[in-house]
Amino acid sequence: MSLRQPVLQLKPRTDRSLPPVVAATAAVAAPAMTATSTLLIESVALLRGAREVLIRHGGEVYRLRHTRNDKLILTK
């Protein structure tokens, strides 16, 4: 049994009313903004070719992993 439990498992949205997505480049891509100021960032821009990244938020460090099944899992 693993000591780390998944906090959140993100699934791809199938909603066709998504705002346009910014293409990922080698440099940090500027996030797309919608009319309601909701941020949309491509996972490729976050991961930059890696299978996992560490995200610091509120003094805590979270791990965002891209699984073999093409899912994103965020753990604390």
Fold of the CATH domain 1-11+29-76: Complement Module; domain 1 (2.10.70)
What is the pLDDT, as a whole number, of residue 24?
Answer: 45
What is the pLDDT, as a whole number, of residue 37?
Answer: 77
Low-confidence winner among 17-26, 51-60, 64-73 (lowest mean pLDDT): 17-26
What is the pLDDT, as a whole number, of residue 12?
Answer: 60
- Please check whether residue 44 is in contact with residue 72, taking contact to mean a CB–CB distance below 8 angstroms: no
What is the pLDDT, as a whole number, of residue 53?
Answer: 95
- Please check whether residue 7 is in contact with residue 62, taking contact to mean a CB–CB distance below 8 angstroms: yes
What is the pLDDT, as a whole number, of residue 76?
Answer: 93
> 15-24, 35-44, 62-71 — which one is most confidently predicted on average?
62-71
